Amino acid sequence: MRTLPPPARASLPREVRFEGHAIVSADGMIAAADGSMPDKLRNAADWQQFQAALDDSCVVVLGRLGHQAHRNPGRRRLVFTSQVERLADDPSDRNALLFNPGGATLADVLAALGIEDGTVAVTGGGRVFDYFLPVYDRFSLAESHQLKMPAGRPCFSAGHPRTVLSAAGLVPRHFTMLDPAAAVTITRWDY
C-alpha cells in the first residue's frame, strides 16, 4: 500500500478541529482479518456516544469500504478512495464527496466543502486513522478489554492506539467506564 502524504496542520483553517473515533479490541484491532467488525466489538453505550459525536460534526471521514457497508443517515461524508483522481461527487450519495489523498490535499477538500470551522469526525479504517495522525486535536478511544483479535486489522499501522497516540503528543485526559459488564472503556486523548 502506498504511503500517503500527511496533511500539514499549518495549511488548514485554524477553527477546524479533527477528532478520531474508534472502538478497538484489547490488542488494538478495529476489525477482524477479513475487515468485518465482530459482534463482540460492538457496544450499545459506545455506539450511542459515537452517533452523538457524528451528529455534532461538520463532516464524517471514512474509508470507501466503510462507506459502502454502512448506509449514510444523511450526514455529510468525506470518503477516502483511490478510485478517483482527486475529488468527485459520489453518484450514489448526494451527501458524500470522494477524496483521493494522493491527488488532493486536505486543505483542498475542506475548501471544496466550504468548511472553515467545526469538528471533522474521523472514523477509520486504519489507513484513514494513519493519515490524520499529524492533525488530531482529540481522539476518543473505546476499548473492549475482554476481546482479542491477534489476526485482526489494526487501528494504526504503527502499533496499539495508546502507544501511537502518546507518540503523536496526545495525552489521555478523560477516562470513563462505559459498560462494566462488557469491560468497555472510553478514553479521550487531547493535546
Give tens-digit pLDDT for 71-115.
888 999 999 999 999 999 999 999 999 999 999 999 999 999 999
Question: Going by C-beta distance under 8 Å and a sequence separation of 6 or more, which residues neighbour residue 36?
Answer: none
pLDDT exceeds 70 at position 59: yes
Q: Can you tell me whether residue 38 is helix, strand or coil?
A: coil
Closest to 42 in 3D by CA, of 65, 77, 80, 70: 70
Q: Give whole-number Cα distances, 50 to 43, 45, 70, in Å.
A: 10, 9, 14
pTM for the complete prediction? 0.95
* Share of residues in the chain with pLDDT > 70 (%): 98
Task: Work out whether strand 29-31 and strand 59-63 pair parallel, antiparallel, or are unpaired.
Answer: unpaired
- Return the CATH number of the domain spanning residue range 13-190: 3.40.430.10
What phi, psi does 48 have (nearest 5°)?
Answer: -65, -45
> What are the residue ranges spanned by the domains of the chain?
13-190
Q: Can you tell me whether residue 131 is helix, strand or coil?
A: helix
Give tens-digit pLDDT for 120-169.
999 999 999 999 999 999 999 999 999 999 999 999 999 999 999 999 99
Confidence of residue 6 (pLDDT cuts 50, 70, 90): confident
Closest to 20 in 3D by CA, of 121, 125, 164, 101: 121
The answer to whether the peptide bond before residue 63 is cis (omega within 30 degrees of 0) is no
Structure confidence at residue 10 (pLDDT): 87
Beta-bridge partner residues of 142 = 23, 186
Where would I find the H helices in the chain? 44-55, 64-69, 106-113, 126-132, 161-167
Cα torsion angle, 24, 28, 34, 40, sign: negative
Do residues 77 and 62 lie in contact, with contact meaning Cβ atoms separated by under 8 Å?
A: yes
145's grid cell: 478489554
pLDDT exceeds 60 at position 2: no
Distance CA 177, CA 156 (A): 23
Structure confidence at residue 1 (pLDDT): 45
